C-alpha cells in the first residue's frame, strides 16, 4: 500500500467513518459476557436503542452484518411456502427477494425503474386482489442504498390498512436508521431491520431486529427453520441484559458511545443535518450539469446521492482516479447500475467541511477524467451551506 498522508475519505454509503470517540470506546478490554458488568452494558444499549427506532417494542442485537438481520426477520415470522410481496426498488431489495426465495418462501416482486421508491398504490391494489390473504408479509427497503431513493413507509402502511390486509410490514432501515426519520410504532412497522455501519457510526458487525407485538405473535407459529436467529431465546436472555451466545462485546462499547453522541446532537437534529447535506450535494450535482438518479423530490435521500454519468463515461473509471489521486472512496454502481452511477455517501459522522472536501474531490476527479461538466458544483454547495437560513 502506498503512503497517503491525511485521513482517507471514506465516502461510500456505508460503512461510514467511525468517530474517534467510538474507536476509543471500543479499545477498552473485553469483559466477561456473563458477569455483572456486562448485564449493565446490555441493559443500557438495549433500552437506549428503542428511541432511535421510535419504538416501545424490543430491539435485539445480532453479532452479524445486515444480511443476518434480513434473514432473522424472515425466518422468525414466516413459514415455508408463504408468499411475500417485495418492492424491487434496487439492488438491495432484489438481494432480499433472492434470500426469501432461497429460504423457501414465495417472493412476489413489484418492480420499479430503480429511480422511484415502493409504490403504495401498487401494493394496495395487489393486496386487495389477495382475498385469501396468501401474502403474509410486505417487504420494503426504506432507503435503497443502491439508488439513493427513500420509500414512503408511512404511506405503505396506510395502503396496507386501506386494503384491510393482515400482512406483516417488514422494513429494511440499514441505510436510514439514525440518519433519515423512521417511525416504527407510528407507521405500524412489524419488523425493522438495521445495521451498525451506517447512521450508527460503528464498524460493520452488528445488526438489529425491532419487533412489534404482531410480529412476536407471528413468531410463535412461524415454521421456517431457525436457531442462531431465533427471537425467543434472545428476548429471554435480553431481559437481564445478556445474550444466548457470545455477544460482540467491544462493538457494544462502541454502540453505547455512538448512542450517547446521537443523544447529545438530538435525533431530530441528526435528521435535519442529513437532509441539509443531501440538498447541498444535489445542488452541486445540478451545477455540474449531471443528473441525480432519484427521480422524485419527495423521495430524495439524506444518506447518499447516486449521480448518473453522462453517456459513454465510466463511473468506475472516475472512482478509480479519485481514489488514486485524492485518497477518497465513493460508492460503486450496483447491479444494472454498474459503471453508470457513482454514489456519494453523506451519512453518519459527517459535517459541512466533510461534504466540502468530498465534493471537491468529485469535482477535481470530473476534471481529471474529462467527464463533460460545468465547474461550480462545490461553490453551489458552499453557498447553500453558508446561507444564514440553513
Ligand X SMILES: Cc1ncc(COP(=O)(O)O)c(C=O)c1O
Rule CB under 6 A: is residue 299 a binding residue for ligand X?
A: no
Helix, coil or strand: residue 182: coil
CA 198-115-203 angle, to 5 degrees, is 10
Rule CB under 6 A: is residue 329 a binding residue for ligand X?
A: no
Nearer of residues 19 and 204 to ligand X, judged by Cβ:
204
Rule CB under 6 A: is residue 67 a binding residue for ligand X?
A: yes
Do residues 45 and 242 lie in contact, with contact meaning Cβ atoms separated by under 8 Å?
no
Question: Any idea which residue has 450517547 for its cell?
Answer: 260
* Nearest approach, Cβ of residue 135 and ligand X (Å): 21
Question: Which residues inside 4-33 make contact with ligand X, applying CB under 6 A?
Answer: 14
Q: Can you name the residues that pair with 211 across neighbouring β-strands?
A: 191
Nearer of residues 226 and 313 to ligand X, judged by Cβ:
226
Q: Specify the stretch interacting with ligand X by CB under 6 A; choose among 153-161, 170-178, 242-250, 357-365.
A: 170-178
Rule CB under 6 A: is residue 66 a binding residue for ligand X?
A: yes
Q: Can you name the residues that pair with 328 across neighbouring β-strands?
A: 9
Question: Which one of residues 54, 65, 109, 289 is an interface residue with ligand X (CB under 6 A)?
Answer: 65
Tell me the residue nearest to ligand X as measured from the CB: 66
Rule CB under 6 A: is residue 241 a binding residue for ligand X?
A: no
Do residues 56 and 186 lie in contact, with contact meaning Cβ atoms separated by under 8 Å?
no
Question: Which one of residues 89, 145, 238, 301 is an interface residue with ligand X (CB under 6 A)?
Answer: 145
216-to-17, 61, 153, 232 alpha-carbon distances in Å: 34, 16, 20, 9
* Nearest approach, Cβ of residue 332 and ligand X (Å): 12
CA 366-90-62 angle, to 5 degrees, is 105
Size of the site for ligand X (CB under 6 A): 12
- DSSP string of 9-38, one letter each residue: EEESSSSPPPPHHHHHHHTSPP--TTSHHH
Rule CB under 6 A: is residue 141 a binding residue for ligand X?
A: yes
Rule CB under 6 A: is residue 174 a binding residue for ligand X?
A: yes
Burial class (CB in 10 A: 0-12, 13-18, 19+), 31: middle
Helix, coil or strand: residue 338: coil
Question: Which one of residues 175, 281, 305, 358 is an interface residue with ligand X (CB under 6 A)?
Answer: 175
* Nearest approach, Cβ of residue 145 and ligand X (Å): 3
How far apart, in whole angstroms, are the C-alpha atoms of residue 103 and residue 5? 47
Nearer of residues 86 and 163 to ligand X, judged by Cβ:
86
* Nearest approach, Cβ of residue 117 and ligand X (Å): 12
Rule CB under 6 A: is residue 358 a binding residue for ligand X?
A: no
* Nearest approach, Cβ of residue 264 and ligand X (Å): 26
| Contacting residues for 382 by C-beta, under 8 A, at least 6 apart | 356
Q: How many helices (H) and strands (E) does the chain have?
A: 13, 14
Q: Can you name the residues that pair with 207 across neighbouring β-strands?
A: 62, 195
Question: Which residues inside 82-111 make contact with ligand X, applying CB under 6 A?
Answer: 92
How far apart, in whole angstroms, are the C-alpha atoms of residue 40 and residue 47? 11
Nearer of residues 67 and 369 to ligand X, judged by Cβ:
67
How far apart, in whole angstroms, are the C-alpha atoms of residue 183 and residue 225? 30
| Contacting residues for 331 by C-beta, under 8 A, at least 6 apart | 11, 12, 13, 145, 304, 306, 342, 343, 344, 345
Instruction: Residue 180: name the closest of 259, 115, 256, 277 by CA.
Output: 277
* Nearest approach, Cβ of residue 142 and ligand X (Å): 8
Question: Which one of residues 42, 195, 333, 377 is an interface residue with ligand X (CB under 6 A)?
Answer: 195
Q: Specify the stretch interacting with ligand X by CB under 6 A; choose among 65-73, 120-128, 304-312, 325-333.
A: 65-73
* Nearest approach, Cβ of residue 175 and ligand X (Å): 4
Backbone angles phi, psi at 141, to 5 degrees: -95, 115
Rule CB under 6 A: is residue 219 a binding residue for ligand X?
A: no
Q: Specify the stretch interacting with ligand X by CB under 6 A; choose among 64-72, 179-187, 213-221, 257-265.
A: 64-72
Question: Which one of residues 71, 119, 172, 299 is an interface residue with ligand X (CB under 6 A)?
Answer: 172
Nearer of residues 14 and 117 to ligand X, judged by Cβ:
14
Nearer of residues 337 and 380 to ligand X, judged by Cβ:
337
List interacting residues with ligand X (CB under 6 A).
Answer: 14, 65-67, 92, 141, 145, 172, 174-175, 195, 204
Amino acid at each position: 500500500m502506498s503512503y497517503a498522508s491525511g485521513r482517507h475519505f471514506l465516502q461510500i454509503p456505508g460503512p461510514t467513518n467511525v468517530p474517534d470517540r467510538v474507536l476509543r470506546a471500543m479499545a477498552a478490554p473485553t469483559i466477561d459476557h456473563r458477569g455483572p458488568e456486562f448485564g449493565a452494558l446490555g441493559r443500557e444499549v438495549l433500552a437506549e436503542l428503542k428511541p432511535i427506532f421510535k419504538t416501545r417494542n424490543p430491539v435485539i442485537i445480532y453479532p452479524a452484518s445486515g444480511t443476518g438481520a434480513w434473514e432473522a426477520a424472515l425466518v422468525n415470522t414466516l413459514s415455508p411456502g408463504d408468499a411475500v410481496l417485495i418492492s424491487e426498488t434496487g439492488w438491495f431489495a432484489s438481494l432480499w427477494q433472492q434470500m426469501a426465495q432461497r429460504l423457501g418462501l414465495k417472493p412476489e416482486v413489484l418492480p420499479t425503474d430503480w429511480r422511484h421508491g415502493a409504490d403504495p398504490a401498487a401494493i394496495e391494489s395487489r393486496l386487495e386482489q389477495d382475498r385469501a390473504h396468501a401474502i403474509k408479509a410486505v417487504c420494503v427497503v426504506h432507503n435503497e442504498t443502491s439508488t439513493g431513493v427513500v420509500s414512503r413507509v408511512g404511506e405503505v402502511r396506510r395502503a396496507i390498512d386501506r386494503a384491510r390486509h393482515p400482512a406483516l410490514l417488514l422494513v429494511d432501515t440499514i441505510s436510514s436508521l439514525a440518519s433519515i426519520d423512521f417511525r416504527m410504532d407510528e407507521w405500524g412497522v412489524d419488523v425493522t431491520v438495521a445495521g451498525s455501519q451506517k447512521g450508527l457510526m460503528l464498524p460493520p458487525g452488528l445488526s438489529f431486529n425491532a419487533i412489534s407485538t404482531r410480529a412476536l405473535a407471528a413468531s410463535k407459529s412461524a415454521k421456517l427453520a431457525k436457531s442462531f436467529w431465533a427471537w425467543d431465546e434472545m428476548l429471554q436472555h435480553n431481559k437481564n441484559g445478556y445474550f444466548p451466545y457470545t455477544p460482540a462485546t467491544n462493538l457494544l462499547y462502541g454502540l453505547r458511545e455512538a448512542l450517547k453522541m446521537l443523544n447529545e446532537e438530538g435525533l431530530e437534529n441528526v435528521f435535519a443535518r442529513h437532509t441539509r447535506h443531501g440538498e447541498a450535494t444535489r445542488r452541486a450535482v445540478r451545477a455540474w450539469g449531471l443528473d441525480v438518479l432519484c427521480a422524485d423530490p419527495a423521495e430524495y435521500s439524506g444518506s447518499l446521492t447516486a449521480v448518473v454519468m453522462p453517456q459513454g463515461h465510466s463511473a468506475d473509471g472516475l472512482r478509480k482516479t479519485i481514489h488514486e489521486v485524492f485518497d477518497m472512496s465513493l460508492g460503486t454502481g450496483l447491479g444494472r447500475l454498474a459503471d453508470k452511477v457513482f454514489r456519494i455517501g453523506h451519512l453518519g459522522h459527517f459535517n459541512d467541511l466533510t461534504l466540502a472536501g468530498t465534493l471537491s474531490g468529485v469535482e477535481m476527479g470530473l476534471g481529471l477524467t474529462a467527464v463533460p461538466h460545468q465547474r461550480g458544483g462545490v461553490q453551489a454547495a458552499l453557498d447553500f451551506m453558508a446561507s444564514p437560513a440553513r
